[in-house]
Chain A
Amino acid sequence: MLVFVEQSLNGLQFGLLLFLLAAGLTLVFGIMDFVNLAHGSLYMMGAYFAATFVAWTNGFLPGILLALCATLLLGVALELVALRHLYGRNHLDQVLATFGLIMFFNDAVRLIWGPAGLSLPLPAWLTVPVQIVPDVFYPTYRLLIIVTTLAVAAVLYVVVMRTRIGMLIRAGASNREMIGALGVNIQLLFTLVFGLGAALAGLAGLMQAPIITVQIGMGENILILAFVIIVIGGIGSIRGAFMAAIFVGMIDTLGRAFLPDLMRTVLSSNTASTAASALSSMLIYLLMAIVLVVRPEGLVPAAKR
């Protein structure tokens, strides 16, 4: 039971983290109709910036803040230099060009930081576990991730649903040409949205950095997960992305944690462990395939947002 609570919290934490990535991706996709495979690279850059700046400044929080700003700037620069020219193109061109950007970023990182992974040590005050209910301890840092991402999700909700900028973003998602015709500087809006998406991806990367090894290619696996989420949730829908992200995070984490034991009850232990590891990696793709077959537009189709 204790293990279950702990693993559920891990699943929630992973899901929320995935939401940060998926939110940026779905915003960019919904509003600009732009498929950005390089979103995972921004996640990776966030983690590398964090590891570097924390070492430079010798402080956890200043380093993290610097890294966040750096990823935001990188995203805006990327939009201005390359991506802005791809908006009118078909999805295939966009997939191809951003695939090229992934290659570029992976090798650029290898050139600058070297092929070995980096690690980002946590400050002492984040390493003590907290007691959430009597006798159940949970790492403070993971709890901090849950709280931060929930706060970011709330802010994002308020910004998108309750402010003028958010209104423009939603209007842009439903009809781009019209809000351009109404005199809104759509180019600026796009840059802004892309920067926001980049910052969210960077935030996800830098928060994940202390838990995993910061390494080349870390953005790619998680990018595919983020795509799975926005497809399950319905492209362009932040609410759908939120639901799908929690769902995927839970299924993935719980599947990895409990499937091996579950399968051991029916199979021999050796086959069970290999079959379970393959099956738990497949679970979310299976989920996505089922959702797409049953509801080809995703759980929350963008039209009903």
Chain B
Amino acid sequence: MNSTINARNVVVALTALGLLLLPVYSGLTGDIFILTLFTRIIIFALAAASLNLIMGYGGMMSFGHAAYLGIGGYAVGILAHEGVGSGFIQWPVAVIVSALYALVIGALSLRTRGVYFIMITLAFAQMAYYIASGLSRYGGDDGLTIDKRSNFGGIIDLSNRVQFYYLCLACLFGGIYLIWRIVNSRFGMVVQGLRANEQRMQAIGIHANYYKLICFVISGTICGLAGALLANNTDFISPATMYWTRSGDLMVMVIAGGMGSLFGPVIGTIVFLVLEELLSQFTEYWALIMGPLLVLIVLFARGGLMGVLGRLSRG
């Protein structure tokens, strides 16, 4: 594992390069579909990466992460609906509201452990879902159409597909860089230590829940940003964005890619969404194949795809 050139790193480097050059390919071939597909993938990869921060590094199994996608999205949608079109207002609001929500539910949820934690985060996300369904002024169950994407003055035009793609990609790379910095900082070491053995960490004087809560809030904040991107991408936001199966999808992306590996969630998201796209072109009943495939991944590919690649590179 000492050499930097191994199967895992090659795949990561190629993926990053591929993502960077995708608009060039799309521009040359005129294939717009692949650009929109990958814009979506990148946004979800950012959400998955944020989930990975608490799940893979912090050991907190949140089953309600889609709530932040919805909150970020609704922040953009509601502000746009009320005539506030500036992204300089919309996006900070999306991020701050997500952080506040994470702070409140994190403080309550972190009183529990294990499966109880999985369930209470799920319960809070469902509450957010029903609150959104009750927002009759903003479409209720049917959702809210966003007429104009966030306006960033003359700096960047979100309606331009390529510019929007690169903005999303910059957010993804920025997010991963941030997570990398966090994970390798003293703070990140403490959080990982808490995952490995909470009692020992407390014995050496670490206030466990304080660290966990901050980690939880950071994760929610990043995912809130992904929500703002998602709303701009689809020009639409509805309660379905935070339905519990969406949280399940995010978990699948993280675990399939490899928990606790920096780039794993990105690979997992690409594989999950591309597979979904391919299978649904091939048959209407794509979940019939995807479902058992998931079971097989769990049974045979421990540590996700990154884990498999890691084992390959060790030979």
- The answer to the question of B140 belonging to the interface, with a C-beta cut-off of 8 Å to chain A, is yes
Cα-based distance from A170 to B285 in the complex (angstroms): 41
Q: Which 10 A-B pairs have the closest CB atoms?
A: A278-B134, A100-B294, A104-B291, A103-B291, A103-B287, A107-B287, A281-B130, A107-B288, A97-B298, A274-B136
Say whether B298 contacts A86, CB under 8 Å. Answer: yes
In the complex, whether B22 has a CB less than 8 A from a CB of chain A is no
Q: Is the CB of A235 closer than 8 A to any CB of chain B?
A: yes
Is there contact, CB below 8 Å, between B134 and A274?
yes
Known: A82-B295, A99-B294, A282-B130. 15 other contacts (CB 8 A): A92-B251, A92-B259, A96-B252, A97-B299, A100-B294, A103-B290, A103-B294, A107-B288, A107-B291, A228-B123, A281-B133, A288-B123, A289-B123, A289-B127, A292-B123
Bits for A6-44, please: 1 = Cβ < 8 Å to B, else 0.
Answer: 000000000000000000000001000001000000000
> How far is it, in angstroms, between the C-alpha of A93 and the C-alpha of B55 when the chains are bound?
13
Within 8 Å of chain A (Cβ to Cβ): is B108?
yes
A92 to B252, alpha carbons, bound, how many Å? 10
On chain B, the residues within 8 Å of A147 by CB distance are none
B63/A97 in contact, CB under 8 A: no
Which parts of B96-139 form the interface with A (CB within 8 Å)? 108-109, 111-116, 118-120, 122-124, 126-127, 130-131, 133-134, 136
Interface residues of chain A, those whose CB is within 8 Å of chain B, are: 29, 35, 82, 85-86, 89, 91-93, 95-97, 99-108, 110-111, 220, 224, 227-228, 231, 235, 271, 274-275, 277-279, 281-282, 285-286, 288-289, 292-293, 296-298
| CB-CB nearest in chain B for A217 | B245
The 8 Å CB contact of B288, one of A92, A104, A224, A296, is A104
Chain B residue numbers with a CB within 8 Å of A220 are 244-245
State how many angstroms separate the Cβ of B304 from the closest Cβ of chain A.
Answer: 10
CB neighbours of B251 from chain A (8 A): 92, 95-96, 99
A residues less than 8 Å from B252 (CB atoms): 96, 99-100
- Taking CB atoms, residues of chain A closer than 8 Å to B130 are 278, 281-282, 285
B309 lies within 8 A of chain A by Cβ: no
B286 on the interface (CB 8 Å rule)?
yes
Can you list 22 residue pairs at the A/B interface with Cβ under 8 Å? A29-B115, A86-B298, A92-B61, A93-B298, A95-B63, A99-B294, A100-B293, A100-B295, A103-B291, A107-B285, A111-B285, A220-B245, A224-B244, A235-B115, A274-B140, A275-B134, A278-B134, A281-B130, A285-B124, A285-B130, A288-B120, A292-B108
Chain B residues whose C-beta falls within 8 Å of the C-beta of A108 in the assembled complex: 285, 288
Interface pair A293/B108, CB less than 8 Å apart: yes
B285 contacts which chain A residues (CB < 8 A)? 107-108, 110-111
Q: Which residue of A lies closest to B299 (CB)?
A: A85
Which A residues are in CB contact (< 8 Å) with B293?
Answer: 100
> Which residue of chain B lies nearest to A110 when distances are taken between CB atoms in the complex?
B285
- Chain A residue numbers with a CB within 8 Å of B116 are 231, 235, 292, 296-298
Q: Which chain B residue shows the least CB distance to A289?
A: B123
Decide if B255 is an interface residue (CB 8 Å cutoff).
yes
The answer to the question of B292 belonging to the interface, with a C-beta cut-off of 8 Å to chain A, is yes
Q: How far is the CA of A302 from the CA of B27 in the complex (A)?
A: 61
Q: B120 touching A95 by the CB < 8 A rule?
A: no
Q: Is the CB of B294 within 8 A of A91?
A: no
A91 to chain B, nearest CB (A): 6
Q: Given A92-B61, A106-B287, A275-B134, A97 and B127 touching (CB < 8 A)? A: no
